[in-house]
Structure 1
Amino acid sequence: MAVLIAAGASMPVGAWSQAYPTKEILVVSTASPGSSGDAALRMMAVKMGESMGQPVVVEVRTAARGAQAHAVMSKAAPDGHTVTFGTAGTFVYGRFLFKNMVFDILKDYAPISMSLTAPSYIAVHNSLPVNSLNEFIEYAKRNPGKLEYSSTGVGSFFHLAGEAFKKAAGVDILHVPYAQKNFSQMVSDWASGRIALWFPTYATLNPNISKVKPLAILDRQRSRHMPDIPAIGELLPGYQPFAVWWGFFGPLGLPSPIATRFSAESKKAMQQPDVAPKLDKLGLTSIGSTPGELATLLRQDINTIAALVNAIGIKPE
C-alpha cells in the first residue's frame, strides 16, 4: 500500500486522468427513487460507463439525512472510484436544520460537478375551490391550520420551499414530511387529494396534470414547458425563489485531474442525443459545472439558504 501511495504521489498530473478509471465506479446516490434526479443519474451512468470503459453503478442510500451515504463515502479512497450524488437538500440544507449532522460538505468532500437544476411549481389538488395563487392564499387564510403540504422530509428542498411560501404569503399550512424512500407514496397522496399542496418539479407535475392545478412556478421567469403558468415573482414578490439542484462530490483529497475528468464525462453524458431530450422532457436543465464552479456555487447556496432559514425562523432540531 505504501508503495502504491508513493507511486501515485509522484504520478504526473495528466497521468491521473489518463489512467482513470481502472475499475468499476460506484455512485452512492441520495436522490429519491423515482425522482427526476434518480432517472437522470441512471441515464448518465450508462453513458459514462460506455465512454470511460468501466461500469458506473448506482447504489441508492437515501436514509438518515445523508448519513447512510456518508458512511460509505467516509471509507472510500479518494481515487474517483466512489463518488456521491444528491441534492442541495442533502448537501446544504441539513447544516442549518439539524444539530447533529454527521458530515460537513465543505470539510469532508471534494466538489466535482453541479449536474442539474429544476424549478418547482406550486400545485394544488383539483378538489380545492381555487384557480389562482391569490385565490389559494385567500382560501388558506380562511382555513388556518386545516391545509397540509408535503415534503420528502425535514430539511428537504420541499420543506424549505413550503416554509418560505408560508412566510411570504402569511398563511398557516401544516407540514407533512415523508421519508425519501416514500417519494412515490407522497406523490400518490398529493395526486389523490389527501395532501392539498406540494411543490413538484415538472417531471412529477406533468403526468398528474389532470388531477392537480399548477398555480405558479418557483422561478424568476416562466417556463417554456408551461408558459401560461406565472412566475412566483409576478404574484408574490416577497418570495425569493431557489431551485432544486443535483451534483456529484468525491471524498476529500480527490485529485483535481480526476474530479475534472469525471465532471467532463458527466457533462458529455447529458449532452448525448439520446439523453438530452429525455432530460428536457423531465423539466431538467443540464449544468455540468466544473469542480471549481461547483465550489463557488456551493458557497453561494449556503449563504442564500442561511439567510432564508434566518428569515423564516427555523431552528435546528
Structure 2
Amino acid sequence: MKPIDLVRRAATLLTLLAAVGASHAQGYPTKPIHVVFPYPPGSPPDAIGRLIADKASKILGQPLVFENRPGANGILGTGQVARATPDGYTIHLNTTSGFLLNSFVRKDLAYDPVKNFTPIIALADIPVALMTSARVPASNTREFVQYLKQNPGKLNYASVGNGSFNHLFMEQLKAAAGVDLVHVPYQGAGTIPAELMSGRIDATVLSVASVMGQWKAGQVKVLAMMSSKRSPALPEVPAITETFSDFRPFTNWIGFLAPAGTPAPIVARLNEAFRAVLQQPDVLARIEQQQWTPIGGTPEDFKASIAADMKVIGDAVGSAGIKPE
C-alpha cells in the first residue's frame, strides 16, 4: 500500500472516531448518572460532593445519584468505577489521599489511577497544615525544627496510617529539616485533634477546618500550610516553602473522574456542568466555609495536576522508605 493511501486511511479513521464520540455526547445524558464516593457519608468531601452533584443535575437535566461505597480505604468503590462501562453514566468522586496514595502503598490494587481513569475536573484544593500541641514551645516552623533538633526522637506525630497524606507530609518534613519524630498511626483522623489538644500527640498534618475551634481557642498551633503558596482562605498562615524552599508538596484535591475510555465529548459536557456549578455563589460559600480553595479548570488541567502529584508522591514514598503492603 502506498504511503499516501495509509495517510488517507488514517485520516478517515480519525474522522470516524470523532463522529462516534460526538454521537455519544448528543442528547447526553438520557438517564441518571451514578456518582460513586468510596467512603461513608458524613464527611466534608461527602457533603460538598452531594451539593455539587445536586446542582449539576439541574444543569444536565438528569439526576446525579450519589452512592457511598466504602471499603478497604476507598479501594472497593474506586475499583468498581474502574470496571464500569465508560459511557458517562458512572463517575467517581475522590481525593488525592484515597485516589493516588493507595497506588503506592497497596500491592493488591486491581486498578491504575492513571491508566484506568479519565479526569473530569478538580473541584477544590483541601488545604492541610502542619500543627502542634499548644504545649510544644514553638510559634513557627523554624522554632519547631530547632526544638526537634534539640530533642531528637523525643516528640511524636500522628497519621491515619502507613502511606497516608499526613504520614507522607511529615516524612517529607523530617527529610527536609533533618529531624526525627516518632510516627504514631491512628485508625482514623477523628480522634487526632483531641489527642493533639491533650498533648498526647505533639504534631500532625490535618485540614485546618478540623481544628478551627481549637486553633482559635489557642489549644493547638497551626504553623504552616503544606503547600507551595499561602492559602487564599488562610493568608495569615505561611506556606511550608517559605521555610524550606525545596519542599515539594502535593496537591490535596477533591475531584470528579470517569472510567478510562469515556468519550471526550461526554467528559467535556460533565466538565462544563461542574464548572458552572463552581461559579454559583452558594456553592462557593460552602467550599470557602471549609477553608477550601476552588480550582475548576479543564480535564487536561486536572490530568497534568495528577501527573505532577504522582511524581511528588512517588519521590516522598521512596525517601520515606514506605513499602507496599
Structure 1 length normalisation: TM-score? 0.85
Q: Does 1:239 align with 2:247?
A: yes
Q: Structure 2 CA distance, aligned partners of 1:253 and 1:19?
A: 19
Q: Does 1:263 align with 2:260?
A: no
Q: Structure 2 CA distance, aligned partners of 1:253 and 1:276?
A: 31
Match of 1:152 in 2: 160
Q: Does 1:197 align with 2:242?
A: no
1:150-176 CA distance string (max 9 Å, x none)? 233322222211110111122222223
Q: Does 1:129 align with 2:137?
A: yes
Gaps of 5+ in 2: 1-16
Match of 2:55 in 1: 47
1:111-153 CA distance string (max 9 Å, x none)? 2222221332111121323222223223333443343322333
Question: Helix, strand or coil: the match of 1:199?
Answer: strand
Q: Structure 2 CA distance, aligned partners of 1:139 and 1:32?
A: 39
Q: Structure 2 CA distance, aligned partners of 1:246 and 1:95?
A: 17
Counterpart AA for 2:173? F
Counterpart AA for 2:279? Q
Question: Helix, strand or coil: the match of 2:255?
Answer: strand
| Equivalent pair of 1:34/1:183 in contact (CA under 8 Å) | no
Q: 1:10 Cα shift? A: 11
Q: Does 1:213 align with 2:221?
A: yes
Q: 1:68 Cα shift? A: 0.9
Which residue of 145, 166, 186 corresponds with 2:192? 186
> Would the alpha carbon gap of residues 230 and 292 (structure 1) be closer, same or farther in structure 2, given more than 3 Å must change?
closer
| Equivalent pair of 1:123/1:212 in contact (CA under 8 Å) | yes
Match of 2:78 in 1: 70
Larger radius of gyration: 2
The more displaced of 251-260 and 130-139 is 130-139
Which residue of 183, 186, 190 corresponds with 1:175? 183
Match of 1:227 in 2: 235
Match of 1:110 in 2: 118
> Would the alpha carbon gap of residues 41 and 94 (structure 1) be closer, same or farther in structure 2, given more than 3 Å must change?
same
> Would the alpha carbon gap of residues 174 and 58 (structure 1) be closer, same or farther in structure 2, given more than 3 Å must change?
farther
1:62-106 CA distance string (max 9 Å, x none)? 432432113422442222221111122222223233322221112
| Equivalent pair of 1:118/1:284 in contact (CA under 8 Å) | yes
Counterpart AA for 2:62? Q
Q: Structure 1 CA distance, aligned partners of 2:41 and 2:101?
A: 20
| Equivalent pair of 2:103/2:109 in contact (CA under 8 Å) | yes
| Equivalent pair of 1:36/1:203 in contact (CA under 8 Å) | no
> Would the alpha carbon gap of residues 63 and 153 (structure 1) be closer, same or farther in structure 2, given more than 3 Å must change?
farther
Q: Structure 2 CA distance, aligned partners of 1:310 and 1:204?
A: 29
Q: Structure 1 CA distance, aligned partners of 2:79 and 2:130?
A: 35
| Equivalent pair of 2:171/2:316 in contact (CA under 8 Å) | no
> Would the alpha carbon gap of residues 160 and 46 (structure 1) be closer, same or farther in structure 2, given more than 3 Å must change?
same
Q: 1:276 Cα shift? A: 0.8
The more displaced of 79-88 and 134-143 is 134-143
Q: Structure 1 CA distance, aligned partners of 2:276 and 2:18?
A: 29
Q: Structure 2 CA distance, aligned partners of 1:52 and 1:109?
A: 22
Q: 1:238 Cα shift? A: 4.2
| Equivalent pair of 1:33/1:183 in contact (CA under 8 Å) | no
Structure 2 length normalisation: TM-score? 0.83
Which residue of 294, 298, 301 corresponds with 2:309? 301
Tell me the number of residue pairs that the alignment of Structure 1 and Structure 2 aligns.
Answer: 307
Counterpart AA for 2:121? S
| Equivalent pair of 2:233/2:292 in contact (CA under 8 Å) | no
| Equivalent pair of 1:24/1:57 in contact (CA under 8 Å) | yes
> Would the alpha carbon gap of residues 106 and 226 (structure 1) be closer, same or farther in structure 2, given more than 3 Å must change?
closer
Q: Structure 2 CA distance, aligned partners of 1:301 and 1:279?
A: 22
Question: Helix, strand or coil: the match of 1:64?
Answer: coil
> Would the alpha carbon gap of residues 54 and 258 (structure 1) be closer, same or farther in structure 2, given more than 3 Å must change?
same
> Would the alpha carbon gap of residues 252 and 147 (structure 1) be closer, same or farther in structure 2, given more than 3 Å must change?
same
Match of 1:84 in 2: 92
CA RMSD of aligned residues (A): 2.6
